[in-house]
Amino acid sequence: MFSIGDKIVYPMHGAGTIENIELKEILGEERRYFIMKMPIGEMKVMIPIDNMQEVGVREIISREEMEEVITILKGDRGKMPQNWNRRFRLNMDKIKSGDIYEIAAVVRNLMLLDKEKGLSTGERKMLNDAKQMLVSEMVLVCELTLEETEELLAESVEFNSGLEDEEELEDEEELEDEEEIKEEDLKKK
């Protein structure tokens, strides 16, 4: 069970700090709620205490686990369905899981896809929502400001795209070399 001051993640909303426990009557039923303050936008979220496990509320990850998240952000874009609907559903399932590693992969993949060919309105909203969830946890774990965290996220994915560009350039050079060798072989025959 969590208590005031604990840093937790509420799937589909993001991470925050439990600020208070309140008894509220909603639809004629009294229930206890954690009042969670989000590090982004000073937003507060009410989380019903009696079904926290059902919705997947968890503690924030450790600094060591955050290193793994950064590694995922720096990684290559994962395979995604070409079909927009399938890709959207697959990414939504990953986000709904509340798993920080899955969310990081979705953010990385959509950011790289956006650079390559742009995103649809739906995927752009998905990217923004997933980034907000990821950044809210990164802020609390890394103890950085919102701006510093967003910069870290962007640099991590930028790092990736730079390497990818170099690899593509090397691949193109190798293909050109192979074509030159084939042309020379044909001339010799």
Tens of pLDDT, residue by residue over 41-85, are 888 999 999 988 888 899 999 999 999 999 999 998 888 888 888
pTM check: above 0.85: no
CATH 2.40.10.170 residue window(s) in the chain: 7-59
* Residue 57 amino acid letter: V
CA-CA distance, 97 to 101, in Å (whole number)? 10
73 neighbors 104 (Cβ within 8 angstroms): yes
CATH architecture type of domain 7-59:
Beta Barrel (2.40)
Q: What's domain 66-157's architecture? A: Up-down Bundle (1.20)
Q: Which two structure tokens, joined as six digits, stand for 102?
A: 């899955």
CA distance linking residue 85 with residue 92, whole number of Å: 10
pLDDT per residue as tens digits for the range 169-184: 334 444 444 455 555 5
